[in-house]
Amino acid sequence: MEMIQLNQINLTYPSSEQPILNDLSIQISKGEWVSLVGPSGSGKTSLLKILSGTVEPTQGDIVINQTNINEMPLKKRHDFLRKQVATVYQQFRLLPQFSVLENVMLPLVPYTKQKKQLEQRALALITEVGLDHRVHHFPEQLSGGEQQRVAIARALLSDPPILLCDEPTGNLDSKNRDVILELLSKIHSTGKTILLATHDEVVAQKGDTIHTFHDGVVHTGAPST
């Protein structure tokens, strides 16, 4: 089953004439792990932003989970994407004034009245990423690898079928990179679809498919192992 269909996506930012994405068409199956590689500035982050609804393509259709999101009014589209997609960033993006538990709960706090249930779910996810001994710590008290695990737990809170990862190991040493990769493998095995942008060849090789971005065009291949 197709989880994501991009049909002839074009993206030109208003401030530049050069198209960033040029007639990009890719299909991604449910449960596929897709690596996005290519030089800096080749449009990987832009594509992930299109899928999370933070950037609108200049042209093209986006079908997620059988739903054409172009046809939706803006608010409905954002509500839909909030349930389908979550993003993990290179810079972790935890809120420094909140504890690990609070950071993981935050995305659903505005949408739920059952605080206790939300807390239980957040605690279960924190345990799943191996940080049950860090629940009441604050981000600055954690290593980079631990912060990224918190960010992954936060991304999983709404149980989205699609996980977007933008250079998730870009700020980590190779030991912590491997811990994150193992965690992502575990998450992948639960049936999640993963799109992961990376500069790291070791990380890229974890994908079932590798899309290479270059001059607005994307080439598709399989990992070399």
Decide the pairing of beta strands 2-11 and 21-29.
antiparallel
The Cα 108–Cα 115 span in angstroms is 9
Q: Is 215 in the site for ligand ADP (CB under 6 A)?
A: no
Stretch that binds ligand ADP, among 8-16, 59-67, 90-98, 102-110 (CB under 6 A): 8-16
Residue 25 or 127: the one with the smaller Cβ distance to ligand ADP is: 25
Binding string to ligand ADP for residues 34 to 63, with x set by CB under 6 A, is what?
A: ----x-xxxxxxx-----------------
Report yes or no: 134 and 146 within 8 Å, Cβ to Cβ.
Answer: yes
Q: Is 148 in the site for ligand ADP (CB under 6 A)?
A: no
Q: Minimum distance from CB of 21 to ligand ADP (Å)?
A: 9
Candidates 3, 20, 105, 126; binder of ligand ADP (CB under 6 A) is: 20
Report yes or no: 37 and 209 within 8 Å, Cβ to Cβ.
Answer: no
Q: Is 17 in the site for ligand ADP (CB under 6 A)?
A: no
Which option in ligand ADP, Mg ion, none does residue 225 bind, with CB closer than 5 to 8 A by kind? none
CA 34 to centroid of chain Cα atoms: 11
Candidates 1, 15, 17, 73; binder of ligand ADP (CB under 6 A) is: 15
What residue type is assigned to position 22 of the chain? N
What residue type is assigned to position 91 of the chain? Q
Q: What is the DSSP string of 162-182?
A: EEEEESTTTTS-HHHHHHHHH
Candidates 35, 42, 45, 103; binder of Mg ion (CB under 5 A) is: 45
Q: Is 203 in the site for ligand ADP (CB under 6 A)?
A: no
Query: In terms of DSSP H, where are the helices of 64-160?
Result: 74-84, 100-105, 115-128, 144-156
Q: Minimum distance from CB of 167 to Mg ion (Å)?
A: 6
Closest among 165, 225, 150 to 33, alpha carbons compared: 165
Indicate the SS3 state at residue 114.
coil
Please count the residues of this chain forming the interface with ligand ADP, following the rule CB under 6 A.
Answer: 12
Q: What residues line the site for ligand ADP (CB under 6 A)?
A: 13, 15-16, 20, 38, 40-46
